[in-house]
Amino acid sequence: MTRLRVHCFSISIDGYGAGPNQSLEQPLGLGGLSLHEWIFPTRTFHEMQGEEGGTTDRSDDFAARGFKNIGAWILGRNMFGPIRGAWLDEHWKGWWGDNPPYHVPVFVLTNHPRKSFRLEGGTTFHFVTTGIHAALQQATEAAHGKDIRLGGGVATIRQYLRAGLIDEMHVAMAPLVLGSGEHLFGDIDVCKLGYQCTEHVPTPDATHIVIAKTR
């Protein structure tokens, strides 16, 4: 059965998944990039960059899980690019360039229609204007029995979480505070929605937490 999974989503100790003042130069907001320092040395991240080497510790284990049995992705528009409003310029093909690391169909939530397009490595971007349930249905069909990875950002994950549609969620808590930005769990009662912590692994650079829907 196809599941909706979140992996490698980094938050601060005070619960922020992105810092304030997001921009083209600071896509994760002020201080947001520091949330992800745990993943940069891993072998999985090196492979995503087309590089050799990297660490093979517990953090790499969690990073590698996020690519196993994935048949499609769902992204919020901010995770695709910094452009806002109508697609006046369709030359932007995403943050990752001509060969993004998805290699499967990717469904981007947006309020503005855009034609699908295919890039190197098997990644095809589709743009969904009819909401989170429509995106999930389309991704499920495209996944052909495999799971779907929900890539974020914060607002998109919160929508799916509130709807109780996420089956499993890996959060990497970085050892820093941001003070402000986009809060991941604010005003969401995850216990009432049926989620419980199923795994908890501390490492020097992050504490890895998995919550899953148990009822």
* 3-state secondary structure labels for all residues of 53-64: CCECCHHHHHHH
> Which of 22-36, 86-100, 117-131 is most confident?
117-131
Confidence of residue 58 (pLDDT cuts 50, 70, 90): very high
pLDDT digits (tens, 9 = 90+) for 108-162: 999 999 999 999 888 999 999 999 999 999 999 999 999 999 998 999 999 999 9
What average pLDDT does this structure show over 185-203?
96
Domain ranges of the chain: 4-15+28-83+96-213
Angle among Cα 50, 55, 60 to the nearest 5 degrees reads: 85
According to the model, what pLDDT value does residue 210 have? 98
- Give how far the C-alpha of residue 155 lies from the chain's centroid of Cα atoms, to the nearest Å: 11
Confidence of residue 81 (pLDDT cuts 50, 70, 90): confident
pLDDT digits (tens, 9 = 90+) for 102-120: 999 999 999 999 999 999 8
More confident residue, 188 or 84: 188
Which residue pairs from 208-211 have beta carbons closer than 8 angstroms and sit at least 24 positions apart in sequence? 208/58, 208/59, 208/62, 208/170, 208/171, 208/172, 208/173, 209/170, 209/171, 209/172, 209/173, 210/168, 210/169, 210/170, 210/171, 211/168, 211/169, 211/171
Task: Give all strands (DSSP E) within the chain, no chain letters.
Answer: 4-11, 16-18, 70-76, 105-109, 117-118, 124-128, 147-152, 168-173, 182-183, 195-202, 207-213
Tokens representing 40 are: 């940069």
From residue 134, alpha-carbon distances to 74, 130, 138, 139 in Å are: 11, 6, 6, 8
What average pLDDT does this structure show over 82-90?
78
Block residue for tokens 């959060």: 171
Facing residues of 148 across strands?
Answer: 4, 72
Q: What is the CATH number of domain 4-15+28-83+96-213?
A: 3.40.430.10
Q: DSSP code of 120? A: G
Task: Name residues whose C-beta falls within 8 Å of residue 97's C-beta, 6 or more positions apart in sequence.
Answer: none
Task: Name residues whose C-beta falls within 8 Å of residue 194's C-beta, 6 or more positions apart in sequence.
Answer: 164, 213, 214, 215
Confidence of residue 48 (pLDDT cuts 50, 70, 90): confident
According to the model, what pLDDT value does residue 116 have? 93
According to the model, what pLDDT value does residue 164 have? 95
Facing residues of 72 across strands?
Answer: 148
pTM: 0.93
In the chain, % of residues over pLDDT 90: 75
